[in-house]
Amino acid sequence: MAFRWKNDLTYKDVTPEAAFWNRRQVMAGAGGLALSGVAGAAQAQDLEPNTWEEITTYNNFYEFGLDKGDPAKYAHTLNTDDWHITIDGLVDKPGDYALDEIVSQMDIEERIYRFRCVETWSMVVPWNGFELADLLNFVGVKPEAKYVAFETVFRRDEMRAGGGIDWPYREGLRLDEAMHPLTMMATGLYGKPMPKQNGAPIRLVVPWKYGFKSIKSIIKITLTDKEPPTTWNMLQPREYGFYANVNPEVSHPRWSQAQERRIGGGLFARRTPTLKFNGYDEVASLYEGMDLAAKF
Ligand code: MTE
């Protein structure tokens, strides 16, 4: 990849709504010189992060139960000490890497991303982490590799995972998606270590895809030349594709994807139009010439 994604706003830059409107009035009064400020503030509003409370109590982590509140109640039983990630398959330096060793090699930065679940809710999350590409370059990807497969830890004695799912939770990306500068391995939230319910100690974040691609508590990464099996696709192939790009034009059988609802908006939360690729247009070139309705 020739470029790195640049984070031009952090949550400290976010202008509270009232202040924004006052400022615009002030600026208009001062001669209307605020155009770039207004555009920036409008974007910042859209990127106003959800609260810590919202992000850490409304979760999907089926290993700890099916209710949105279950992960916050039960994920504390997961032991995340001395975490290792096995990296194998088509790599130059396969191995069992201590997470501490990996993190010491990486630049940890903050990225505020929109996060959109296939169930149509959305949040804005200030993640901390590093680009997956940096990790893949660190271990060296062999030229034959075309996909990256990920696995979540599975420990029956630490999880209340029910039947129906063929554990461990598995996900995958095409290699160019994995190498894209937007794709990150997140180790924290709001500058704090990743809470267990959000996928401690390390998870994937792919902001232009539905949330189920963003696999939590990763212990294994395999480079392969075949499209890897993925949990939701294995369970319901007609409902969940391998690509799972956010797309208002391709509806899930149970959920129209035309609109979304931002968590935290209260009872009268406005539904807003879903943005293709969740607004991350810079990934469109990855899918040129592909029929995104067929490869959903
Ligand atoms: N990873 C694992 N291991 N198990 C899961 O159940 N749920 C996925 C994804 N990663 C899931 C997972 C789904 S459906 C979503 S929407 C996101 O995690 C939710 O992430 P959050 O709880 O941090 O918002």
Structure confidence at residue 163 (pLDDT): 80
DSSP character for 229?
P
DSSP H helices in the chain: 17-29, 35-46, 52-57, 70-74, 99-105, 132-139, 175-178, 231-235
Homologous superfamily, domain 11-282: Oxidoreductase, molybdopterin-binding domain (3.90.420.10)
The residue with tokens 């270590």 is: 193
User: Rounded to an integer, what distance in angstroms lies between the CA atom of residue 11 and that of residue 48?
Assistant: 7
Q: Compute and round to an integer the Cα radius of gyration of the chain.
A: 20
For residue 78, give the nearest of 151, 150, 162, 156 by alpha carbon. Answer: 156
Among left, alpha and beta (phi > 0; psi -120 to 50; other), residue 160 is: alpha
pTM of the model: 0.87
**Tokens standing for 218?**
């990763």
User: Rounded to an integer, what distance in angstroms lies between the CA atom of residue 14 and that of residue 41?
Assistant: 7
Structure confidence at residue 20 (pLDDT): 39
What does each of the 296 residues of the chain score in pLDDT, given as a tens digit?
A: 445 666 655 555 544 444 433 333 333 333 333 333 333 444 445 789 999 999 999 999 999 999 999 999 999 999 999 999 999 999 999 999 999 999 999 999 999 999 999 999 999 999 999 999 999 999 999 999 999 999 999 999 999 988 889 999 999 999 999 999 999 999 999 999 999 999 999 999 999 999 999 999 999 999 999 999 999 999 999 999 999 999 999 998 898 999 999 999 777 778 999 999 999 999 999 999 999 999 99
The residue with tokens 């396969």 is: 94
Q: How far is CA 213 from CA 116, 139, 150, 174, 265, in A?
A: 11, 22, 10, 12, 25
Q: Within 10 Å of residue 227's Cβ, how many Cβ atoms?
A: 14
- With a 6 A CB cut-off, is 50 part of the ligand 1 pocket? no
- With a 6 A CB cut-off, is 61 part of the ligand 1 pocket? yes
The residue with tokens 């508590």 is: 217
- With a 6 A CB cut-off, is 187 part of the ligand 1 pocket? no
- With a 6 A CB cut-off, is 169 part of the ligand 1 pocket? yes
Q: Is 171 helix (H, G, I), strand (E, B) or coil?
A: strand
- With a 6 A CB cut-off, is 230 part of the ligand 1 pocket? no
CA of 241 to the centre of ligand 1 (A): 16
Q: For 38-69, b where at least 16 C-beta lie within 10 A, e where not — what string?
A: eeebeebeebebbeeeebbebbbbbbbbeebe
Structure confidence at residue 9 (pLDDT): 59
Identify the burial level of 254 via C-beta atoms within 10 angstroms of its C-beta, where 0-12 means exposed, 13-18 middle and 19 or more buried: exposed
- With a 6 A CB cut-off, is 214 part of the ligand 1 pocket? yes
User: Rounded to an integer, what distance in angstroms lies between the CA atom of residue 105 and that of residue 117?
Assistant: 31
For residue 48, give the nearest of 135, 154, 123 by alpha carbon. Answer: 123
For the CA of 115, the nearest atom of ligand 1 = 24
Q: How far is CA 188 from CA 112, 156, 185, 202, in A?
A: 12, 25, 9, 8
CA of 205 to the centre of ligand 1 (A): 10
User: Rounded to an integer, what distance in angstroms lies between the CA atom of residue 284 and that of residue 279?
Assistant: 10
Structure confidence at residue 45 (pLDDT): 55
